[in-house]
Structure 1
């Protein structure tokens, strides 16, 4: 029916801010940064009436264990970090690779990366395209420069080379906590690789992170995978085993913890989030049973009906 879906054109800051300030918004579904979501929610004059389903920032780690199918880990990591130029909230944003396999991992990663075709989005077979955001190339260059200042190197040929709004992926190694890219969500084709020896290093990173959307575990040791699943089960919304982080299918809930989400998105879960259940109750007595039977029989209520069963 007319008015069910309305499209309002203009700057998001201007249009959404005005809508929230009006107090007429009951449900807020939003994908963006946690800061933007918080600022918008604060504009609502009746915050207790506002329900929210938010997909927010993420710094999803890929964790490569010493016992691993390295070819699969590399394939999933390249796609996870660089599909859509890494501009997915579900992208792999930082890779922790055990020192026993890190050299081989980087060699294979760079070989796979070199096969990705750059070009325009409408060209066949293109995997790397220009970035759509003004100032994004400058931001990525600043991350690379900061990492280099603190001891990282660009490990792949042409890494970080840019032209206009195109930025060729930069693989950075070894990345450490002094670097901005260790903490910031780059949301672009910069791939930070952190070598580690002790799993506590990785566990502490996830525990201390402000974000908790997803992570990926790559390994073949059941005991080690099982231990890490238990360590991370209350830290992220989804743990992927030998697979990249990703959105979907819609049968799976899309959620997160900490600053990465509020509520749960997916077809089923979103309908529950967007719904407030109403209950009509009475005492189990003959007169009440007769009353309800008459209401149903005569269709005296549109709400009280046996026509639909959910």
Structure 2
């Protein structure tokens, strides 16, 4: 599998770190609990960068810093803080006026922006995200928060009136659900987590924020912003091994919403730990093995370019990445040739290198895993067809185009979550359709064809198998105003700006019979602003 003849372009590791991107080691010794940054004097966990530094003993990952390794004791204290802050819906945050909650969120955004440069650098050092992608992640997250604020205003404006039906007058608004446990992935440790945390928070829920596997220090500069922007107990942070600190939280039955982005296996285990599953709302974004389908009628240049973007953006470490490419046999050889040439021309390097496309991988065991699934494919008849494909050094793996892949290979079934592109030749469209029908996942598909009748014939079956059908473009999450969900084991609930606000709330209403007494009563409450719920205030 491996091509270990090392050309100059693959010599990415160096002792020369540009001064503007260097950072001192950061040793976090505090965490956010009940509105305070509480000192931590217990065990810590080392944070090692995927960026390795060459030395006399070979490559060694750079130490970024250390983080708290808290215990179940601290996790239960955080849970109690969230429960107390919610106070059965009577707490300061859940009963606060919508306008005031928005002001708190706007304050948070302002304080967050002040930490932009440091957070971007930490994303580069902790998970190997390129400068361009790390910058995009931060800025997109700020944009997402602002979109969420605007969407929340829209929802509240629609609710700022009374409705009359069949002799009953009512006001219908959205109310919070309770304590939310928010857990997210390492690949987008800021953006993905905030797409659940922010809407859950602004709707009036209280948050237990479990840090991701990698990218923990990137959140450290934001703890003060959380502390200063929201009432105490509204947000508390959790550190440590999930199996140790999350289990007692779920078993307590005090979590009302599980917001989780990760594997379906972990999500299923977490839900089973809750003693009252019927009371637990789950908002989940899970596994995906998104397929691309390139037919004989495709523009191959478009298909190749979009397939590379879809397969290798952030080294293919995205749930929305294209992880299996079906190519009709009539154009398969030409497609693979074009794809291989373009992949081999991609620039590898360190996160701050100009125009870098492929960077080191944050998961220490990922290179060995990728080697294993490629060797499995080779043993069953496939080949790595691109130059440098599969070259590995330390945490760095150059992308491998593997062809021809078939359904006996691990690459056909397993979500590789890394820079490997399996290409499957097919004769009739029934083959990729059969794959999607039998797959455990149902997030997205990308169809490449310029034949209108062919595209139409594919749209109709695939919209009932996946949640998004992309035509002549890569799979992706955005724009954030569009629904983001999945079928089968890929998701539960819907995320997008407006959908997420609804997912983390429930419609509640105040109703009464229409008569003069009710009119006088409601008018008095509204006029005197005695209720934060029963109100006709219009937020601009």
TM bucket (normalised to shorter chain) is over 0.9
CA distance in 1, matches of 2:296, 2:406: 19
Deviation at residue 265 of structure 1 after TM alignment: 1.1
Does 83-92 or 44-53 show the bigger shift? 44-53
Matched, 1:45 2:275: yes
Aligned ranges 1:223-238 → 2 under 5 Å: 223-238=453-468
How many corresponding residue pairs?
310
Superposed CA deviations along residues 30-51 of structure 1, whole A, max 9, x for unmatched, are 1100000010111112222211
Deviation at residue 125 of structure 1 after TM alignment: 1.7
Aligned ranges 1:1-310 → 2 under 5 Å: 1=230, 2-308=232-538
Deviation at residue 4 of structure 1 after TM alignment: 2.2
**SS in structure 2 opposite 1:96?**
strand
Superposed CA deviations along residues 165-222 of structure 1, whole A, max 9, x for unmatched, are 2111111111111111101101111111000110011111111111001110111001
CA distance in 2, matches of 1:301, 1:80: 50
CA distance in 2, matches of 1:67, 1:299: 64
CA distance in 2, matches of 1:304, 1:108: 62
CA distance in 2, matches of 1:81, 1:101: 19
Q: Structure 1 unaligned segments of length 5 or more: list them.
A: none
**SS in structure 1 opposite 2:250?**
helix
Superposed CA deviations along residues 52-89 of structure 1, whole A, max 9, x for unmatched, are 11110000001001111110110000111111111100
Equivalent pair of 2:344/2:388 in contact (CA under 8 Å): no
Q: TM-score, normalised by structure 1?
A: 0.96
Structure with the higher fraction of residues in helix conformation: 2
Q: Structure 2 unaligned segments of length 5 or more: list them.
A: 1-229
**SS in structure 1 opposite 2:259?**
strand
CA distance in 1, matches of 2:443, 2:262: 13
Q: TM-score, normalised by structure 2?
A: 0.56
Superposed CA deviations along residues 111-170 of structure 1, whole A, max 9, x for unmatched, are 111221111112222111111112111111111111111111111122112111211111
